[in-house]
Amino acid sequence: MAEHPDSALIRRGYAAFGTGDMEALGSLMTADVVHHVPGSNPLSGHHKGRDAVLGLYQRLGEETNGTMQVELEAVMADGRGHVMSFHTVRADRGDRGIEIREGLFFTIVGGKITDIDQCTEDIDEEDTFWS
């Protein structure tokens, strides 16, 4: 059975993120995309617009000195413009390390990502790591 086009879009996004190809990643998003990051740390909040979202992703690499790795575990589509993904993040930042499961809930319109809601298995651990 063929993969749903929305799931394939998200897999392409993960692949581009993994190689640092921000141009390819940006091409998968609408200009007004929003990425919502939970918690109370310097990265938390609503990153609005393609440039702001790509800036967030570049900052993740900078803050972790390029150590961040994201291992995609699952992608699920509802066939109505929503996709959920689950992954494990591993990264080092200064003298801290993190290995944590996260999920993203995507809204897709016209074959482009318009909204990304991020969830984590431990908000306090993420806040400590990024603060």
What domains does the chain contain, in order, with CATH numbers? Answer: 5-130 (3.10.450.50)
**Percent of the chain surpassing pLDDT 90:** 98
pLDDT given for residue 126 in this prediction: 96
Confidence of residue 2 (pLDDT cuts 50, 70, 90): confident
pLDDT given for residue 66 in this prediction: 94
- What is the model's pTM? 0.95
Could you write out the DSSP letters of every residue in the chain? -PPPHHHHHHHHHHHHHHHT-HHHHHTTEEEEEEEEE-SSSTT-EEEESHHHHHHHHHHHHHHTTT--EEEEEEEEE-SSSEEEEEEEEEEEETTEEEEEEEEEEEEEETTEEEEEEEEES-HHHHHHHH-
